[in-house]
A = this chain, B = another copy of it.
């Protein structure tokens, strides 16, 4: 007998997470013990890049990411790169809140036939990245699994007055990103070995591939930006620029307008898009995997920031609750966020 019951793919990931988070927010006990750890921002933070626990003048930031083959680790990624990425995705969440990393705990699932040298490379990727970003590996455990599975949970700390959240964007703020868009997408498309032979400038190719396989987290930038107090909201764009614009817009009760010709995009991205017959704008704003920060910044204070951190202004915050893209011809596209996962044009 065939079942007509809905399954989770009918809802989509963002809606599943919303279902989880709406239950989470009601789960915080109200006794005095919990009031010491959970203030108004802590409650809001459950929908942010990391959860905030109140500790005196600071927030402890906690964030967790589960990475699995093949979704997060394409076959071209080696074990060291997997270990590195499992740390970077968490660091990226900490940086989006302006937090200084303390440490990460790593739970690892491994297939029993994994060569020991691959395990050692995985560890080297994890530890090497911890060293590079000046944080501790707080231990972890290993379990048997069908595929390599890495679950990292990172802790960081941020002054309560300096925490960056998704909810502070105000009309008129500038919208900016910290670096190239679509470059990781281009890298993955090269690596996925499109049937069309890709014959491009090899330095640019290497750059794109490196962005895909060995991303960096914007930890220093997050700290500098949180110190400045000029940033009104922030998040990282691992899930794609458009989706994260939608997150900030929803959390702040605003909308955003951005300009296609202001997006920082290297020529290789559009070249690859054309070679593999993909819509370049989708690769730039929806593909994800660029570990950059998306920020809204007080207009008057932007000049004081731009010498400290690489920043590309791509648009501004608007009052109407929608995302508008002004394309290269000056036409306005209203981007409907269907659960933030699909892109439709008006």
Interface residue ranges, A against B (CB under 8 Å): 3, 5-11, 13, 16-17, 19-21, 23-24, 27-29, 31, 33-34, 37-38, 46-47, 51, 53, 55, 60, 62-68, 71-72, 100, 102-103, 105-110, 112-117, 119-120, 123, 127, 130-131, 134-147, 149, 151, 153, 155
A37 partner residues in chain B, CB cutoff 8 A: 102-103
A6 partner residues in chain B, CB cutoff 8 A: 115-116
> A28's closest neighbor in chain B, by CB?
B136
CB distance from A168 to the nearest CB of B (A): 19
A-B contact pairs, 7 of them (CB 8 A): A8-B116, A9-B112, A24-B139, A29-B135, A47-B139, A71-B144, A72-B143
Known contacts A5-B117, A109-B66; is-contact A24 B149 (Cβ 8 Å): no
Known contacts A8-B110, A119-B8, A153-B62; is-contact A142 B29 (Cβ 8 Å): no
Q: Are A127 and B27 in contact (CB under 8 A)?
A: yes
Give complex CA distance A107, B93 in Å: 14
> A3's closest neighbor in chain B, by CB?
B115
Q: Are B64 and A107 in contact (CB under 8 A)?
A: yes
Q: Are B142 and A5 in contact (CB under 8 A)?
A: no
Give complex CA distance A20, B140 in Å: 8
Give complex CA distance A40, B19 in Å: 41
> A9's closest neighbor in chain B, by CB?
B112
CB distance from A39 to the nearest CB of B (A): 13
Give complex CA distance A51, B106 in Å: 12
Give complex CA distance A142, B144 in Å: 21
Q: Are A107 and B65 in contact (CB under 8 A)?
A: yes
Q: Are B8 and A112 in contact (CB under 8 A)?
A: yes
- For the residues of A in contact with B, the DSSP-based class is mixed
Q: Are A108 and B66 in contact (CB under 8 A)?
A: yes
Listed from nearest, the 8 A-B pairs whose CB atoms lie closest are A151-B151, A66-B107, A153-B153, A51-B138, A9-B112, A46-B139, A24-B137, A28-B136
Q: Are A20 and B62 in contact (CB under 8 A)?
A: no
A72 partner residues in chain B, CB cutoff 8 A: 143
Q: Are B140 and A64 in contact (CB under 8 A)?
A: yes
Q: Are B142 and A16 in contact (CB under 8 A)?
A: yes
CB distance from A169 to the nearest CB of B (A): 21
Q: Are B105 and A153 in contact (CB under 8 A)?
A: yes
Q: Are B151 and A29 in contact (CB under 8 A)?
A: no
Q: Are A136 and B34 in contact (CB under 8 A)?
A: yes
Q: Are B7 and A116 in contact (CB under 8 A)?
A: yes
Apart from the given pairs A7-B113, A64-B140, 11 other A-B contacts in the complex at a CB distance below 8 Å? A5-B116, A7-B114, A9-B112, A9-B113, A17-B142, A19-B119, A20-B141, A23-B137, A53-B103, A55-B55, A62-B105
Q: Are A10 and B64 in contact (CB under 8 A)?
A: no
> A135's closest neighbor in chain B, by CB?
B29
Known contacts A37-B102, A68-B143; is-contact A24 B138 (Cβ 8 Å): yes
